[in-house]
Amino acid sequence: METALVKKSNWTIRMRRQALFAALMMVLVLLVIFLYSCSSDDVTTEPTNQTKKTFYVEGTHLFDPCGKQVILKGVNKMSVFDENDPQGAGYFPEIAKSGANSVRIVWQKTNSNGTATSLTTLEAIIKNCMKEKMIPMVEMHEATCNLNGLNDLVNFWSSAPVVALVKKYEHAMLVNIANEAGDYSVTATQFETAYKSAITQLRTAGINTPLIIDAPDCGKNLELVVPIAANLVNHDPLHNILISAHPYWSKKDGATPQFIAGQLNAAATAQVPLILGEVCAFGGYPGDNVPETYGCTTEGAVDYAAVLTEAAKHDIGWLLWEWGPGNGYYNVDPVVLCPTMDITTNGTYASVQAITPNDPNAWAKDAVITGAYSIKNTALKTAYLQNGFICQ
């Protein structure tokens, strides 16, 4: 009996060892499959181990799907008008050299020649931006300074093909509904009513990304939005709203450092989830009875350094206007180019490095590279971006 029991015990041990070995091998196979899937270069790979399916707003700040705070630091790019590099295969790698973590992508329903733009091209732009580990923020440009144009762009965003595109990249992108919709005459009630309708339509259509709402008066009137920002956020069932101001507050029009500090302090005190969607050293109001093209001169100078300084105090993200070249007033004949608003002279990072103090866009080197609050010195990419928009 003693021998039989020993034999039975040894057989049981061997069987248990074989079962354990098989289980370990299965675990190793599954681990290899998992690691292989995570190593894919496809930027559309679904995020894993994430807390959210999209970037999201909590309080006054933006967070990635893994739950890490993101402070946007980047540039604008007029992609829709770039005929030389329409998909951004060349300029996104150049922008990325600055350390930017986001690009605000200018888009329209139509090209400059009046033909319809292509969603295939827009998708390529989004993917090329993501490939460089930068957050694509797509904005529609055709309602600039015109609140009546907002609904047409909401219809664009709500269309089935566009919703499908947004949902495909919702883990990576931000939706800036309309550029600067509304002129100086828009009231708070008109603005709130229009954007509540926009929020409802976009959420009903299935868009879940953060929705970015530009201030009226062509982006400048932050004072109007501050008292109603909470109403807009609360109207959104996802509470996933960012307010964007474009501080083209000219020195000539009284925008001192104290004025700028007051504007951003008021927004912070009111707990407005704020970003500055366009920041530039020029483009401000040049004064009464002065041609608008003077906005590119010292008549339209903006204290951008004070804007960046005050933004840093409140962790407010911002994007510089604009990578360039090609800024100008195309609504006048002849066209007046505006090199003071071009960050680059040829679309390359090297051209920013080569800027001298006497260049018309000297501010750009400070804001992108050398300044204390520059993109190069302050922009951060969370692990989610670094890993190719995947939580690990």
Q: Is the pTM of this model over 0.95?
A: no
pLDDT of residue 93: 98
The angle at the Cα of 294, spanning 290 to 298, to the nearest 5 degrees, equals 115
Q: How far apart are CA 227 and CA 299, in angstroms?
A: 31
pLDDT of residue 50: 66
For the chain, helix, strand, coil in percent to 5 are: 45, 15, 40
First to last CA, the chain: 56
Q: What is the DSSP string of 317-338?
A: EEEES---S--EETTSSS-EE-
Range list of β-strands (E), the chain: 56-58, 61-63, 69-70, 73-77, 102-107, 135-140, 174-176, 211-214, 241-245, 274-279, 317-320, 328-329, 336-337
Both tokens assigned to 50? 């994430």
pLDDT of residue 392: 85
Q: How far apart are CA 189 and CA 179, in angstroms?
A: 19
The angle at the Cα of 87, spanning 382 to 165, to the nearest 5 degrees, equals 70
Rg (CA), the chain: 25
Q: How far apart are CA 34 and CA 44, in angstroms?
A: 16
**Strands across the sheet containing 56-58:** 56-58, 61-63, 69-70
pLDDT of residue 24: 43
pLDDT of residue 141: 98
Q: How far apart are CA 209 and CA 222, in angstroms?
A: 23
What is the 3-state secondary structure of 252-267?
HHCCCHHHHHHHHHHH
Nearest to 96 by CA among 72, 74, 81: 74
pLDDT of residue 55: 98
CB atoms within 10 A of CB 89: 12
Both tokens assigned to 371? 């300044």
- Contact assessment for residue 249 and residue 217, using Cβ atoms and an 8 Å cutoff: no
Looking up tokens 């931000």 gives: 174
Q: Is the C-alpha dihedral spanning 371, 374, 378, 381 positive or negative?
A: negative
- Local confidence pLDDT in tens for the 392 residues of the chain: 333 322 223 323 333 344 444 444 443 434 433 443 443 334 444 444 568 999 999 999 999 999 999 999 999 999 999 999 999 999 999 999 999 999 999 999 999 899 999 999 999 999 999 999 999 999 999 999 999 999 999 999 999 999 999 999 999 999 999 999 999 999 999 999 999 999 999 999 999 999 999 999 999 999 999 999 999 999 999 999 999 999 999 999 999 999 999 999 999 999 999 999 999 999 999 999 999 999 999 999 999 999 999 999 999 999 999 999 999 999 999 999 999 999 999 999 999 999 999 999 999 999 999 999 999 999 999 999 999 999 98
What angle, rounded to 10 degrees, do the helices at 150-158 and 188-205 form? 10
